[in-house]
Structure 1
Amino acid sequence: MSNNKEIAKEVIAAVGGKENIRSVAHCATRLRIMVNDENKIDKNTVEGIEKVKGAFYNSGQFQIIFGTGTVNKVYEEVVGLGVNEGSTGEMKQETKKQGNLFQRIIRTFGDVFVPIVPVLVATGLFMGLRGLLTQEQVLAVFGMVPADISPNFLLYTEVLTDTAFAFLPALVAWSSFKVFGGSPVIGIVLGLMLVNPVLPNAYAVAGGTADPITMFGFIPVVGYQGTVLPAFIAGFVGAKLERWLRKYVPETLDLLITPFATLLIMSILSLFVIGPVFHSLEEVVLNATIWILGLPFGLAGLVLGAINQLIVVTGIHHLFNFLEIQLLANTGVNPYNGIITASVAAQGGATLAVAMKTKSKKLKALAYPSTLSAFLGITEPAVFGVNLRYVKPFVFGLVGGGVGGFFGDLVGLEATGMSLTVIPGTLLYLNDQILLYILGNVIAIAVAFTLTYLFGYSDKMREEIEG
């Protein structure tokens, strides 16, 4: 702990001291610092601090990569030294004027969807385990057949696998309200209204076993199970409406009038306007995504596998959370995951080649843990700490990702969840695809490793770059 405190002190000093820090927050791997003056940051000093795996300035934030687990502890020490603690929402407000419109929209998508990803990860694991436990081959080991499984047990597994997606609009509306400055509890209730059991179930309507309710003679109304965009827009509009009401409603009546008016107005807008319009738009996006992923000859896997880590570097990869959630909610599978995992594994393969080829003990000490991190699904230490620094390993990692993605697309890999890749990702393929999934990872790693080892790195290159 004391070591992390020293690291925190060094970080604060290297970014210009407390007086240059407006706020600090963190994500899974990075310490994110809002500074008053970017010119006061000593990037070289930061990168030389113990446990730092890379640093860069992006979208108004100075981001320091520590890796999972470590970043939480360093963050606590930085805050403990008196630096202003910034929530995701506050940091969003501070960065909202920085970057172009597209970058700001992508950041907002990330702010809304990243907090709900953990429960969707858990749901994906539940789906994978359910698939494993109901396989004939697995049951045969215990002398059982599918008919021997208790109906009550299967019902329980449905509770585990269906709840998050059945009430997905409530999760999205909650997070959206929180990000846009509204009361999260109002967002939860509004989201639950979109999936109220009295409305025709969206899946039943799609399956032809239920009919929409016609309101006002021309508006078809259904439940919005598994939808994302309607809840996102409802949360955005609802939060703005609630904040506007609070400006004009007297404090003595605020508790009575503001929630009532917000929910009344937003229930009407959400069910009769926002829902129908944006659900139609969402279906267009979903169908376009499915079309792209369905391109022949593995083209989608080749292209997306090659560019995925480029997208990660730009920081706009959170946009794909929305697409993956849509795929899972509407089709029950996620073919995009098999492509992503190839791009992640390939960067790990390139970093491993650097680690094995270099004679520098310092670089080995950085590259080997970064390789492990990539194989566990987190590429930032490998990409920013090693591969991008020497350029060619990153490029050959992209090539490996393209080849692995091409293979995954050709064999039709389909995950049961999202956000788990490489080694942890095997839990999303606990079916007859697990060997193909492993083979796809091996191909991506092998291509990136071989190209990097033969053509992508030498200690002479390191000496030239580092002077």
Structure 2
Amino acid sequence: MSNKDKELSIRVIELVGGESNVNDVYHCATRLRFTLKDHTKANEQALKNIAGVITVVKSGGQFQVVIGNNVSKVYEGIMEHTNLQDGGSKTDTKENAEKTGIFGKTVDLISSVFSSLLSALAGAGLLKGLVVLSVALGWLDDTSGTYLILNAASSSVFTFLPIFLAVTAARKFKANMNVSLAIAGALVFPTISAAFNSGQTYDFLGIPIVLVMYTSTVFPILLAVWVQSHIEKWFNSIIHQSIRNILVPMLSLLIVVPLTILAFGPIGNSVSQGLASGFTSLMQFSPMLAGAVTGGFWQVIVIFGLHWAFLPITLNNLATIGYDLMRPMLTAAVLAQAGALLAVMLKTRNSQLKTLSGSATITAIFGITEPGIYGVTLRLKKPFIYACISAAIGGAIIGVGGGRAVAYSLPSLLAFPTYVTTGFASVVIGVSVSFVLAFLLTLLLGFKDLEATVEEPQIETSGQEKQAIEPSESRLNKEIIVSPLKGSVQLLEDLPDPAFSSGVMGQGLVIEPTDGILVSPINGVVTTVFPTGHALGLTTDSGMELLIHIGVNTVKLKGQFFEKKVKEGDRVSCGQLLVEFDAEQIRTAGYITATSVIVTNSANYLDVLKTTEQEVKQGDYLMSAVV
């Protein structure tokens, strides 16, 4: 993990209100998904302004920070630098649960239990599609040993899906994971499957059993682990600790496994069949309408992070009827965004937007659209609309043609092997129409482009600042930064905090303060004030961004010894009081008070020139950013 990823992890946690404000955090393909105690403590605008964060979405009761393809590294950094646990460390408070609502909690549950399985599901689904394609083309004999092994490799995660879900559900519900695995193992135990296939009738203590095939199922194991978590909690409260580790697992298995086979299995099976038949009924009513609605609105659902709610429908369709009609339609929606992104790349005159569109096009082709949506198409509005219209047309074509998937896959170009079955020609035509039409609409109808260049204003230089630069540089435009503190000047690379000393946050200097008075070093706007008061961000009228961070690891003081004098959005002038802090008390508590002053968008400047003075007082020249 790079220092940049570590620093981004730390900043994200700080800006969502700190570790103490997090009930739960996990990640999916592109997003960090937080369940927060208090959403008002999270600084949404400051998060959006961080390099490495694409955007922030609040939906389904979750506070979602969209990172992109690097999300796993940032999540790893969060796990390393906090006491949060993988899959969440705290239980939702009653207040938060009430705010979230039933639908929000349902989305949160589905996304949390499936997110860590996504890569295995996608990889196995793609392999399954390739195996099916090889058999269909005569490249592989389905009676051969090669097929035997490859089919097992591609089918295992789906056949034993309850076992995989037992792990993630146990994390979510705070249940004993090994007991959850034992419950899932009982459901897919060979004799249970054999009993279902035999067609015989059985009873449990005189109660008739409605046998269900539990392989590839979703809902029965989720219900079972949820009940297990409550049973364990109750037994742990009444059984003495000397025998708790033996009796609680035994009693959990004794109660939950029969209860699941007698009740949860049939109920879950009914829900699964209902979901599968519901979409099938819609297709039978109007395949064109079903395809148009699914394709046209899919990326809107993705924007709100609610697309996880549809994953069980796909898996249940594959388990109950052997195929899924929805997946090819979603591929049309994904490739339509790719077509619009490609057109933006060719048409825009903004170099940054051109670069972003190009990389996002490739990412979208392989199934991840969030970077392209948030960074380009939704930002420009019209390309997003063109893509949705195109996806609706492509989805309608696929619906009419009966395109279907025979294995799970991420909707992308790579998913095509899973569509090589009934209606494959309609999938090819529908997806192609979506991509080409979105490309042409965006290219021909256009959009309001971002400005190609931004002119920087002329900045006056002081006499002291001129002494700090070479004569040949004095003709350049500069942004002047004066000292916000009185104290001794140190090099940033000497600070005992690699997140800052490495320079990944930008160029700057460090001041060891002699008092606790921090004033503004520029004229501008306060863009960020950390709840703890130990750090804040400022932006000048011409766009220079400053981060002032008092001390090292002082976020752990949770605001003690700091008093904020400004709030976000305040306009400040040079020398205006920003924060008062008790430097002596901070040092007594064991923390360093060395304060970093960093130009976080240093990359936008030719150089950041620094004073050569060893001591400064408030208002003295400190640095200048050369345009």
Q: Tell me the TM-score normalized by structure 1.
A: 0.84
Match of 1:73 in 2: 73
Match of 1:115 in 2: 116
Give the Å deviation of 1:98.
3.8
Q: Which residue, 408, 413, 428 being the options, matches 2:418? A: 428
Q: Does 1:254 align with 2:254?
A: no
Q: For 1:202 and 1:446, how far apart are their aligned partners in 2?
A: 52
Structure 1 residues 250 and 42, CA gap change in structure 2 (3 angstroms): closer
Match of 1:266 in 2: 256
Counterpart AA for 1:166:
T
Q: Once structures 1 and 2 are overlaid, which stretch shifts more, 389-398 or 102-111?
A: 389-398
Cα deviation, 1:113-150, whole Å, max 9, x if unaligned, reads 333343333332232122233234546xxxxxx5xx65
Q: For 2:36 and 2:214, how far apart are their aligned partners in 1?
A: 42
Tell me if the contact between 2:28 and 2:116 (Cα under 8 Å) persists in the aligned partners.
no
Match of 1:392 in 2: 382
Q: Does 1:189 align with 2:182?
A: yes
Give the Å deviation of 1:283.
2.0
Tell me if the contact between 1:328 and 1:417 (Cα under 8 Å) persists in the aligned partners.
yes
Give the Å deviation of 1:232.
1.7
Q: For 1:91 and 1:448, how far apart are their aligned partners in 2?
A: 44
Tell me if the contact between 2:338 and 2:365 (Cα under 8 Å) persists in the aligned partners.
yes
Q: For 2:36 and 2:172, how far apart are their aligned partners in 1?
A: 21
Q: For 1:222 and 1:423, how far apart are their aligned partners in 2?
A: 35
Q: Does 1:369 align with 2:359?
A: yes
Give the Å deviation of 1:348.
2.1
Structure 1 residues 359 and 47, CA gap change in structure 2 (3 angstroms): farther
Give the Å deviation of 1:462.
10
Match of 1:325 in 2: 315
Give the Å deviation of 1:387.
2.0
Q: Secondary structure at the match of 2:243?
A: helix
Q: Unpaired runs of 5+ in structure 1?
A: 140-145
Q: Secondary structure at the match of 1:307?
A: helix
Structure 1 residues 451 and 9, CA gap change in structure 2 (3 angstroms): same
Q: Secondary structure at the match of 1:99?
A: helix
Match of 1:307 in 2: 297
Q: Once structures 1 and 2 are overlaid, which stretch shifts more, 292-301 or 19-28?
A: 19-28
Matches within 5 A, 1:407-422: 407-422=397-412
Give the Å deviation of 1:413.
1.7
Q: Which structure has greater helix proportion? A: 1
Match of 2:55 in 1: 54
Q: For 2:36 and 2:18, how far apart are their aligned partners in 1?
A: 9
Match of 2:429 in 1: 439
Tell me if the contact between 1:196 and 1:223 (Cα under 8 Å) persists in the aligned partners.
no
Tell me if the contact between 1:200 and 1:213 (Cα under 8 Å) persists in the aligned partners.
no
Structure 1 residues 211 and 89, CA gap change in structure 2 (3 angstroms): farther
Counterpart AA for 2:87:
T
Matches within 5 A, 1:85-164: 85-90=84-89, 93=92, 96-138=97-139, 146=141, 150-164=143-157
Structure 1 residues 123 and 19, CA gap change in structure 2 (3 angstroms): closer
Q: Tell me the TM-score normalized by structure 2.
A: 0.64
Q: For 1:338 and 1:243, how far apart are their aligned partners in 2?
A: 43
Q: Does 1:457 align with 2:447?
A: yes
Counterpart AA for 1:253:
I
Structure 1 residues 296 and 36, CA gap change in structure 2 (3 angstroms): closer
Q: Once structures 1 and 2 are overlaid, which stretch shifts more, 252-261 or 446-455?
A: 446-455
Tell me if the contact between 2:336 and 2:435 (Cα under 8 Å) persists in the aligned partners.
yes
Match of 1:296 in 2: 286
Count of matched residue positions in the alignment of Structure 1 and Structure 2: 449
Q: Secondary structure at the match of 1:87?
A: coil
Match of 1:142 in 2: none
Give the CA RMSD over aligned residues.
3.2
Tell me if the contact between 1:201 and 1:224 (Cα under 8 Å) persists in the aligned partners.
no
Q: Which residue, 343, 368, 381 being the options, matches 1:378? A: 368
Tell me if the contact between 1:370 and 1:382 (Cα under 8 Å) persists in the aligned partners.
yes
Tell me if the contact between 1:227 and 1:329 (Cα under 8 Å) persists in the aligned partners.
yes
Match of 2:165 in 1: 172
Give the Å deviation of 1:191.
1.4
Q: Which residue, 264, 271, 275 being the options, matches 1:281? A: 271
Cα deviation, 1:266-287, whole Å, max 9, x if unaligned, reads 1221111222233233322222
Tell me if the contact between 1:413 and 1:437 (Cα under 8 Å) persists in the aligned partners.
yes
Q: Does 1:64 align with 2:65?
A: yes
Counterpart AA for 2:225:
G
Give the Å deviation of 1:263.
0.2
Q: For 2:256 and 2:373, how far apart are their aligned partners in 1?
A: 44
Tell me if the contact between 1:351 and 1:386 (Cα under 8 Å) persists in the aligned partners.
yes
Counterpart AA for 1:52:
V
Q: Secondary structure at the match of 2:116?
A: helix
Q: Once structures 1 and 2 are overlaid, which stretch shifts more, 276-285 or 319-328?
A: 276-285
Q: Which structure has greater strand proportion? A: 2
Give the Å deviation of 1:359.
0.9
Cα deviation, 1:327-378, whole Å, max 9, x if unaligned, reads 1112222221101111111122222222222211122222222222211101
Say which structure, 1 or 2, has more relative contact order (CA 8 Å, 6+ apart). 1
Structure 1 residues 214 and 362, CA gap change in structure 2 (3 angstroms): same
Counterpart AA for 2:295:
G
Q: Once structures 1 and 2 are overlaid, which stretch shifts more, 156-165 or 413-422?
A: 156-165
Tell me if the contact between 1:347 and 1:397 (Cα under 8 Å) persists in the aligned partners.
yes
Q: Secondary structure at the match of 1:155?
A: helix
Q: Secondary structure at the match of 1:199?
A: helix
Q: For 2:284 and 2:90, how far apart are their aligned partners in 1?
A: 38
Q: Indicate the structure (1 or 2) with the bigger Cα radius of gyration.
A: 2
